[in-house]
Amino acid sequence: MLQVRLAAITKVFENPAAVCVTLVCNWALQPFVMYAFARFFFEVVFGSVLSEEQKQKYLTGLVILGGSPCTAMVFMWSTLVRGDATYTLVQVALNDIILLFLYTPTVVALLGISGIDIPWELVVTSVMLFVALPLLVASIINLALQTSEHSQKMILLCLRPASQIALLLVVVLIFAFQGSKLSVHMLIIALPLLVQTFTIFTIAYFLFFKLRVVHEQAAPGALIACSNFFELGVSVAISLYGFGDPTVLANVVGVLCEVPTMLLLVYICNGTRDKFPAAAALPVR
């Protein structure tokens, strides 16, 4: 079983472009595109509607969110586009590793450009608690139990509802603390989020198309490239500012936008499947 998995992982790297496009979009484009659109919408488009404090808080929230690629829900989107499961796993694993080292300096640097200071130690602690620690615990459990594929699926089925319920409770608490400050401001926050998502998706999907990457990798790759790790964003924002802060609201709006936006992109991917080469048509390297 281990040899089969290693062979499947090795095959993913036979076409480096399939891996590199997503990584470049996630780390060289997405954080900066999110920052640019957030500043444009909050300072130019809605500059007369928002106070200076709101501009700063919403910008901070989206930068915290934009600095982290999605590492959880992408498995669902990959399944819906009939993507390569091993390829998706490799991309998620690489993003998790890179996130440990690049998330904090990227977020701190982008906010520093706008004169917004956030404590490095708190961001690093959040990353350790919400990314490194779960990754370490999961690895230890997997090695200790030597679970079969069936057992792993059963464990995931048991744990997934708990994580979803926890995220739902956090969202409910945030709305309770925010009170009457929502409505129009949620739409204002949603606009740069949506524009950023569709921009990064378009860039990634176009690059996959031009490089003739198979759809089983191009579709999940583009979806990973444009999605965000909302759980981390919400956790970091709460750790830094507390439940009632507008920074947290900006991240929660991202959570609410994710499902309908990604389902639309899934529909686009499935509708353009015939534009990409089939996996069997690729030459063996």
Helix H or strand E encompassing 280 = none
In a domain, 47, yes or no: yes
Q: How many domains does the chain have?
A: 1
- Kindly report the backbone phi and psi dihedral angles of residue 283, in degrees, each rounded to the nearest multiple of 5, phi listed first: -70, 145
Q: Which two tokens stand for residue 267?
A: 């529909």
> Across the chain, what does the average pLDDT equal?
82
State the greatest distance between any 2 C-alpha atoms of the chain, in Å, as a whole number.
60
Q: Answer whether residue 13 shows pLDDT above 90.
A: no
- Could you tell me which residue, 76 or 132, shows the higher pLDDT? 76
HSE toward the beta carbon, residue 28, CA cutoff 13 A: 8
Residue 65 lies in a domain: yes
* pLDDT greater at residue 168 or residue 124: 124
For residue range 147-164, list pLDDT tens digits in order. 556 665 666 566 556 655
SS3 221: helix
Residue 267 lies in a domain: yes
Judge whether 141 lies within some domain: no
Say which range, 70-74, 80-84, 221-225, has the weakest mean pLDDT. 70-74
In a domain, 254, yes or no: yes
Q: What pLDDT score does 25 carry?
A: 94
Q: Is residue 109 part of a domain?
A: yes
pLDDT at 107 over 60: yes
Across 87-103, average pLDDT: 89
pLDDT score of 100 more than 80: yes
Q: What's residue 212's pLDDT?
A: 94
> What CATH number did the domain enclosing 269 receive?
1.20.1530.20
Tokens of 83: 């993507």
> What pTM, to 2 d.p., does this model score?
0.83
Residue 178 lies in a domain: yes
* Positive or negative: CA dihedral 195, 196, 200, 201: negative
User: What are 156's two structure tokens?
Assistant: 């995931």
**Which helix or strand (DSSP H or E) is residue 97 part of?**
helix 85-113
Domain-embedded: residue 112? yes
194 contacts 257 by C-beta, under 8 angstroms: yes
Percent of the chain with pLDDT over 90: 41
Domain span at 60: 2-125+156-274
